[in-house]
Structure 1
Amino acid sequence: MGAAVGRWFPKGRPQTVTEGLLAVRRQLDKDRPLPDFLIVGAQRCGTSSLYKYLEAHPLVVPSLRKETHYFSHHHAKGEAWYRSHFPSRAYRTVVRRRHRREPLTFEATPAYLFHPWAAERAAALVSEAQIVVLLRNPVDRAFSHYHHSVRRGWEELPFEQAVAVEPERLAGHVERMASDPSYRSNDFLRYSYLARGFYADQLERWATHFPRERIHVLRTEDLFDRSMETYHGLLTFLGLPPSSPPELANHSYRGSSRPQGAPMPASVRHTLIEIFAPHNRRLSLFLGRDLGWDE
């Protein structure tokens, strides 16, 4: 037994339970089904809550981890590593027999929307997947992102100064990521407060790899202000029957909408509204509806 265990848990570094399970799953079932749909973003928009909302559906079997980061950070680990995050065909058969309907599986990595390679990589492997995007007022998203970086110890500048120096901080990183698929940048993750809110650019990139009719865009504000209507609309898009999930337990949006510390100065908010306005107009044209974020 000890030798067998050693095969799954290499010597020299500790293994978490999840890592051990993934190692076993890679060996036992290298042909696990790939996800039927992906939640691709955006960061700080409530994707953790949406993930929990969906995993409560009886015909949804989620990934072992909410965020696999396969199409962003871990693509070099290979398809078998990615498949190991999803339920086996045998388990899906059990669910199908129980409910007399084919279940769906998914993962939710909010970094995918902004990552320059994620859409192309996803299309190469899961070309038939449906794409779900959750978008929040980019001004509020930027402020939430900033406070997240402060809590993590990454950010020491005041918010107004942090957004002012963002172009300098990100200079070269986006271009290098676009030209070098193996390049990873912490600054790209931590300090892209405004850039991640230029949603039209990101959606247009995804739409070059996936048909528009398979991309479903939700407003974060609607998910929490009109929860059931928005949730049922998503189920319809995914081809799932109606369900009555437990009350949404938000882990990222409601708390981050009231960040600790001083509120955003009105003058800063006004400036950011002006910065985002042309991007929001492009987004409205792309979606064919006004998102109501220019106030």
Structure 2
Amino acid sequence: MSPNFLVIGAEKSATTWIYNRLSEHPNVYLPATKEIHFFNQFDSNLKEVNNYEKLGLNWYKNFFHHYKGEKAIGEVTPMYLCDPKAPYRIKKLLPDVKIIAILRNPIDRAYSHYWMAKHKTHTQLTFKEAIETNDPRFVQRGLYYDQLRIFYSLFPKENIKVILFEDIHENNQEVLSNLYNFLGVRSSYVPEGLTNKENSSQKPKSVVLHRLIALSTVFFRTKLKMGWMVDVFKSTGVADKIKTLNTKQVKNETMDSADRKSLEAYYKESNKKLERLLQRNLNW
């Protein structure tokens, strides 16, 4: 079975919250694993994954083997939005798929992403250095217009839904109702986790343990091709408990006003084009 919808990003824009609320709906199927990384060539830290060419379609379809006839079947991988090859690969294999993108003020997204990477020791740069070097992980990924216009050129407009991070915060039930309706499932459903906050500012207590778990998951899925073991482990709830025990809440520093002004200028033209594409005022 192949998915009929994909949540393509952006990173640090409530995709985990969307994943969990979709998972709660009785007529929506999502794999136990968020972020399969099938269509994208590179992961979030620019490391080549390329499961599309290395492992193939059967490996991908195996993520959906627990499907039991739910009307909506999909997956959530935020890297699909910004990866240069992902849109074309998706079009080739899933030409009729529905596309869902969640966008956040690109300045806030960049800062949130930077601190996540900093806490996980994926970068040693200061945020100012990340801006000055135009780090593609944090800065360039906020150029949503250039990313989305490719999807609009490949897929029918009616098959693309764009949600704003800010709308989720203002009226999460309305956002979910509209999203459920877009997927053709009961829009009046109210998930238990409606008011849950996901992935607020956190850092792993042990970076070594965090990486060990991540590498083990990749090893079992891609090297041993025993993804079912990962699914069983996740279904027990043990994985979530370990993650919770290894996580602590943190308060990130306030962004420097000069850095914010620099990014406002950087994103200005892209945001204007995005407003025209989406036909709405973004107030970013």
1:274 aligns with 2:220: no
Match of residue 41 from structure 1? 9
1:53 aligns with 2:30: no
> Which has more radius of gyration?
1
Percent sequence identity over matched residues? 31
5+ residue gaps, structure 2, are 41-49, 203-248
2:63 partner SS? coil
> How far apart are 1:261 and its partner, in Å?
3.7
- TM-score (norm: length of structure 2): 0.76
1:197 aligns with 2:162: no
Q: 1:195 to 1:281 in 2, by over 3 A?
A: same
Match of residue 201 from structure 2? 255
1:227 aligns with 2:218: no
Match of residue 51 from structure 2? 74
Question: Matches of 1:261 and 1:110 in 2, distance apart?
Answer: 22
2:118 partner SS? helix
Question: Matches of 1:49 and 1:66 in 2, distance apart?
Answer: 11
Deviation string 1:273-292 (CA, Å, 9 cap, x unpaired) is: 12111110000000011111
Match of residue 137 from structure 1? 105
Contact 2:71 2:184 survives alignment (8 Å): no
Deviation string 1:169-226 (CA, Å, 9 cap, x unpaired) is: 6xxxxxxxxxxxxxxxxxxxxx521110000000011112211111100001111221
Deviation string 1:71-122 (CA, Å, 9 cap, x unpaired) is: 0131021110000001456x22xxxxxxxxx521110000000000101001
Letter in 1 for 2:196: A
Question: Matches of 1:224 and 1:57 in 2, distance apart?
Answer: 20
5+ residue gaps, structure 1, are 1-32, 93-101, 170-190
> How far apart are 1:255 and its partner, in Å?
3.2
2:162 partner SS? strand
Q: Which of 261, 279, 283 is 2:274 aligned to?
A: 283
Match of residue 238 from structure 1? 183
2:125 partner SS? coil
Question: Matches of 1:259 and 1:236 in 2, distance apart?
Answer: 36
Letter in 2 for 1:136: R
Question: Matches of 1:66 and 1:158 in 2, distance apart?
Answer: 29
> How far apart are 1:262 and its partner, in Å?
2.1
Count residues with an aligned counterpart. 226
Question: Matches of 1:232 and 1:265 in 2, distance apart?
Answer: 37
Question: Matches of 1:261 and 1:58 in 2, distance apart?
Answer: 37
Q: 1:121 to 1:148 in 2, by over 3 A?
A: same
Question: Matches of 1:103 and 1:212 in 2, distance apart?
Answer: 21
Supply the RMSD in Å over aligned alpha carbons: 1.7
Question: Matches of 2:35 and 2:126 in 1, distance apart?
Answer: 29
Contact 2:22 2:28 survives alignment (8 Å): yes
Match of residue 105 from structure 1? 73
Question: Matches of 1:195 and 1:214 in 2, distance apart?
Answer: 25
Question: Matches of 1:145 and 1:62 in 2, distance apart?
Answer: 24
* Correspondence 1:82-97 to 2 at 5 A: 82-88=60-66, 91-92=68-69
Deviation string 1:103-153 (CA, Å, 9 cap, x unpaired) is: 211100000000001010011111111000000000000001110110111
Letter in 2 for 1:118: A
Contact 1:38 1:129 survives alignment (8 Å): yes
Question: Matches of 1:228 and 1:87 in 2, distance apart?
Answer: 30
